[in-house]
Structure formats: structure tokens, C-alpha cells
Structure 1
Amino acid sequence: MASDTQIQVRKIDTEYSLAEITDFGAQVLSWTPRGQNPVVWLSDQASFSGDTTVRGGIPICLPWFGNPRFSPAAPAGAAGNHGFAKTTVWERVDSASSPAVQVPGGKGIEFPRSQMPGNGDIQAGAEAGYKVLTYRLSHKGGELFPHAFSAQLTIEVGKTLRLILEAVNTDDHPFTFEAVFHTYLGFSDLRQCELHGLEHAVFLDTLTDKKASEDQPITFNQSFDRIYDSASNLEIYDSAWRRKIWLKKSGSKSTIVWTPWDRFIKDFSDIPDQEVYRFAGIEFGNARENALLLQPGQSHRLALEIGVDSLPD
């Protein structure tokens, strides 16, 4: 489902931040609060040809995550990591400024708004100054994925960055799916950063295929590809840039932490070697053992909010 034309980029300019978004994959490409370095990282060597995912930003992994051979959602013989939503042109159905973002209802899991951060209910919107884009994707089934579903993504850009993804089973039978916000975050030097919020969470290390847990904040000194069983919010401390990136989520039982480090950076032609310590994949959603079973007519909502605070001197 890749596009056959050059990817077009929309630039979103608000009082508090700047963002770049494309209809290709309904992907946030970058997000930069004013006066800050980019929080959502975009590779300088990313391809905008329309035949591959843009490296960086927040690709939407749907309806499966990771290598399809290990996914409980991918059909037999499926090709391509992370599903096809990220390389499909979504329909843009709305573009507005808050104060109100209307998220559709549904027969499925209620959206736990009390877990969301910010100054109130995310549906009833957020503070003035947010700009909103809404995208839809409809899949009618077939060999690529033999189950019909629709998905809607709402993106709010302002003082923080907010995403709400709702997937609905529009078929006549239940099916399993995975959905992940594959977020690339930017840092001064990953070797000087600490990730808090995953202490004691059990993770699957996909590099060794072993499960383990740690009781300390994560520090980065090696390749990571871990799927944590965790619904916790996160904070990443970046001492060199004197800032704390915080991430709050809803509807997510999995957190994925990924960085190629020196060991695998040569495998990525769209990431400059010198950028290897400037980003990490900190991803939220439901994957592997936390894959979701949707009944006909049922929906599931996945929400993410990203913000940044200054660290005291």
C-alpha cells in the first residue's frame, strides 16, 4: 500500500510548538516545543519517496507489531515489519483548532480519561492554542489482513503533543490485532540519559529471547530491543539539555524500548552513523502477549501525550 508519489509534509505552527505531519501513514514526523531541541526525532537521512516508512517521528504500527513471524496478529505469510498502516495514505477528515476534539464513541473499551495528563479531559480538549488533525483508515479485509477494521487517529499539537488512535472491528467475527505508537525521541547524548518508570517491570529481550526485570532506572550503554509488560508512564532525564521528557499513556499494556547502538547502526542506511546516540525508540501500545482480541463492533482506544519540562540547575 505504499504511495507512488513523493510524500507531502504539513507544517503545524502553534503558540507553543512546531510539528511536521504527513498523510502517508498519518505520521507525526517531528515535534519541537519553542525554544527547545526537537523532542520527536526525525532522521536527516529519512526517505520521503513514498515506498518506505519515514525514519523517525511516530509511525503507527497496525494491525501487527514487529516481525510478523512473531506476531499473534499477523496472518500466515505476512510480509513487512509493523503492519501496513504506516505505509498507507490515510484520509484526512478534519483540521481545526481546539478547544474541542470530538473522539467518536464505540462499543468497546471505555477511554480512561482520568489517566490522561494535562488540564482536563482530552476529549473536551485541551487548552486553547492546540491545533488538531484527524485521519481515518478503512481496511475491508483480504490477503494482506483477512479482517475488516477502521481506524481513526486524532493528533493535537500545542503545549504538548497528543495522539488518540481508535481501532474498530467492522467485520462479522473477532480477530486479534496489535497497535503501537513507534515513537522516536531525541536526546543530546543517550549515554547521559536515564529512563524512569520501568523499574521492576518484566521485559522480553528480543535480542536474546529471554525474560528479565531490573530494579533501577534504565541507562543506555548497549543495543536495546525490549518489550516491557507495563502500563506505567515514563520520564526521561536529559542532563546535557537540562530537560525531562515525560510520556503518559492510556489503553496500553506494552512499552517497547529500542536503540540500534553501535552494534546495529550499519543496518540502517537512513540513519547517519553520528546520530546513533541522539535518539531512542520509546514506544507505547499493545504487542505480543498484550495483543488485543476485538469482537465485532468493538473498539479500542490508545492514547499518548508527550511533554517536556526544564530540569533545575
Structure 2
Amino acid sequence: MSTIDATALPQGVSLAAGSGGLPCVSVTTPACTAQVYLHGAHITSWVPDGQQPVLWCSSQATYSADSAIRGGVPLCAPWFGPGRTGGKEPAHGYFRLAEWELTQADRDGDDVLLVFTLPTERGGLPGIEHAPADLQATYRVRLGAELGMELEIATPTQALELENALHAYLHVGDVRTVTLQGLDGARYADKAPGGRAVNAQSGPVEFRRETDRVYASTESVTVVDPTLARKILVTKDGSHSTIVWNPWERRAAEMSDFGDDEWTQMLCVEPGNALKGRVDLAPGERHTLRATISVDSTQ
């Protein structure tokens, strides 16, 4: 398959050059505005009608064919970080570096459904030797009053220890005032400096320092943001892990594609399957990771 012709797109959907000249799908309907880059099938913006932006992107993000975009919703797969045993490159797998094909675009009322397919030809991508050569992936994105994401991965002939994540960067008013509900009692691995290998969450998650945690949880979570007077609900299916990340001041300053003072306005809440929450696929099996993000401003 190849990317569909721009003239075949439904009303409110267009395909043009975005930042850095990369192909970008733009959506404008009564329900929302949004942008999705073919590079990484990367959602960089989703703004429901009447809301502030729900996703965060760094002002220093790099838009080029050999870099991942900092912010939005990168696709992490078929491994997370350096992989369970370490040493895999690039970090978070090659899905977010691949040039995906837009193979379907439809209107359903005020919602837009986009379907992206991972090309079978992946020459030149780093890290592909660490995954089955015939690995297949389809990514379905529904853009409307809610943001729906569905990543399906299949391995026709070889076994695969699959890690993945919908690495959502959420826009918040001030992360130091935010609480994350829904993980009370969940055990987690703390990967931040000074963190312990295994912990158990007590009450809502609060943010006082660099946070880099992989929670063993299948539950939905809610970001309570008093500064922006809203709640962001993240529901999921096919996910054994919830990854929570904020780099804080020192780590943010070390990243060239991250503004030094931008860490206060973002929080990563990532449905996925990582570390002990991996998914073991036998030849011929497939796995689907689903997540929905919605906003409640009635508090």
C-alpha cells in the first residue's frame, strides 16, 4: 500500500508539508483540530472544540527524517527504552522513526478516522535487526471530542517479545500542582535517579522531582490539573503498564530538543506494555494496544 491521494481525503482533512517539510495530515472539524505527521505516525496536536491544547510539544522539537519528534504521541515499539535487557537502539524502537503510510481517511459525523500502515520496506532504519523481518503494524487514530488510538502489531512467522507504548505528552498548567489518580496500590519500577527498583503507590501520584516510573496496572488514570481547571482521563485496553514521566529541571536542561523551562507544562502518561508487562507473541499472533484520551472541564 501507499499513502492515499490528497484529493481523496474527506472534508476537513488535508495533507501537506508541515514543519521541516515533513508530510503532515491536518484535521479541522467542528469537534477538534489536530495534526498527525507521517513520520512516526506521530500525533503532534489535538485540540477539542472549546479546550486548550491537550497534547504538549516542545518549542525545541526537531522535525527531520532521522529524529523523533519531542512531544505529542510518539509510538514506542517494538521495544521500550533500550529493551528489557538493555542495549537495543534506537531508544524506544524504530516505529517513531519510520515513514508510515496513510492508507485510509474517513469522516464519521464530526470525527475523523485515520489509518496508518507501517511499510514493509524499512531499509535504513536503525534497530530493525532486533525485530522480526515480517513484523506488521497498523495504527488507527480517531480524532474528535475524544482522541482514540489503536496500535495493532502482528508477527506472522517469528516469535516476538513485544514492548510498546502510546507515549502521550499531556499539556498541564503546572506539573507541581497536578495529581494523577487511579494508580493507588499499584507496584512500580522507579527508574529516576535515586529511585528504588520496586515500590508500591500510596494514594494519588504527586510530582516533586524527576519522575520516571513503570506502573504495573491495567486501570484507567485521571490527571487532575487545578491550574487549567480540568481533568484528563486516559483509558486503555491491551495494556499491562502505565509509564509516568517528567524530566524536571536538570534533565530537561540536558536535552537539546526540550526547552529548559518547559518541563513544568508537561506530563507523560503512557499506556503500554514494558519490562515485566511485555507481551509474548508466538508466530502468527497479534496484539492490539488501545487508549482513549478525553477532557472534563466541569470541575
Q: TM-score range by the shorter chain?
A: 0.7 to 0.9
* TM-superposed deviation, 1:147: 4.3
The equivalent residue for 2:13 is none
When the two chains are superposed, the root-mean-square deviation of aligned CA atoms in Å is 1.7
The equivalent residue for 2:67 is 52
**Residue from 161, 164, 167 that aligns with 1:176:** 161
Task: Give me the whole-angstrom Cα distance separating, in 1, the residues matched to 2:298 and 2:223.
Answer: 11
* TM-superposed deviation, 1:146: 4.1
The equivalent residue for 1:240 is 227
Deviating beyond 3 angstroms after TM superposition, the runs of 4 or more aligned structure 1 residues are: 138-142
Task: Give me the whole-angstrom Cα distance separating, in 2, the residues matched to 1:143 and 1:274.
Answer: 37
SS of equivalent to 2:236: strand
Task: Give me the whole-angstrom Cα distance separating, in 1, the residues matched to 2:129 and 2:223.
Answer: 41
SS of equivalent to 2:34: strand
Matched, 1:216 2:226: no
Matched, 1:136 2:117: yes
SS of equivalent to 1:48: coil
**Residue from 263, 272, 282 that aligns with 1:276:** 263
Is the contact between residue 82 and residue 88 of structure 2 (CA under 8 Å) also seen in structure 1? no
Pairing 1:176-215 to 2, within 5 Å after superposition:
176-207=161-192, 208-215=195-202
* TM-superposed deviation, 1:138: 4.3
* TM-superposed deviation, 1:214: 2.2
* TM-superposed deviation, 1:255: 0.3
**Residue from 78, 87, 90 that aligns with 1:63:** 78
The equivalent residue for 2:8 is none
**Residue from 152, 156, 160 that aligns with 2:142:** 156
Code of the residue aligned with 1:160 in structure 2: it is: E
* TM-superposed deviation, 1:139: 4.8
**Deviation digits for residues 138-183 of structure 1 (CA, Å, limit 9, x no counterpart):** 4579635344210000000001000011101122x32211111011
Is the contact between residue 94 and residue 135 of structure 1 (CA under 8 Å) also seen in structure 2? yes
**Residue from 39, 47, 52 that aligns with 2:54:** 39
- Aligned-residue sequence identity (percent) comes to 33
The equivalent residue for 1:112 is none
Task: Give me the whole-angstrom Cα distance separating, in 2, the residues matched to 1:293 and 1:219.
Answer: 32
Is the contact between residue 249 and residue 261 of structure 2 (CA under 8 Å) also seen in structure 1? no
User: How many pairs align?
Assistant: 273
* TM-superposed deviation, 1:199: 0.6
Moved more, 191-200 or 207-216: 207-216
**Deviation digits for residues 177-221 of structure 1 (CA, Å, limit 9, x no counterpart):** 111101100001111111100111000001235210122101111
* TM-superposed deviation, 1:137: 1.0
Is the contact between residue 140 and residue 149 of structure 1 (CA under 8 Å) also seen in structure 2? no
Pairing 1:63-82 to 2, within 5 Å after superposition:
63-68=78-83, 71=84, 78-82=88-92
**Deviation digits for residues 81-137 of structure 1 (CA, Å, limit 9, x no counterpart):** 000010000111001112xxxxxxxxxxxxxxxxxxxxxxxxxxxxx3110110111
Matched, 1:300 2:284: no
Q: Label 1:61 to 1:286 Cα distance change in 2 as closer, same or farther (>3 A).
A: same
The equivalent residue for 1:15 is 30
The alignment's TM-score, normalised by the length of structure 1, stands at 0.83
* TM-superposed deviation, 1:66: 0.7
The alignment's TM-score, normalised by the length of structure 2, stands at 0.87
Task: Give me the whole-angstrom Cα distance separating, in 2, the residues matched to 1:197 and 1:14.
Answer: 32
The equivalent residue for 2:100 is 90
Matched, 1:266 2:253: yes
Q: Label 1:150 to 1:53 Cα distance change in 2 as closer, same or farther (>3 A).
A: same
Task: Give me the whole-angstrom Cα distance separating, in 1, the residues matched to 2:130 and 2:82.
Answer: 15
SS of equivalent to 2:242: strand
Q: What runs of 5+ residues in structure 1 fail to find an aligned partner?
A: 99-127
**Residue from 152, 168, 178 that aligns with 1:166:** 152
Task: Give me the whole-angstrom Cα distance separating, in 2, the residues matched to 1:234 and 1:83.
Answer: 25
Q: What runs of 5+ residues in structure 2 fail to find an aligned partner?
A: 1-19, 123-127
SS of equivalent to 1:276: helix
Is the contact between residue 39 and residue 65 of structure 2 (CA under 8 Å) also seen in structure 1? yes
SS of equivalent to 1:277: helix
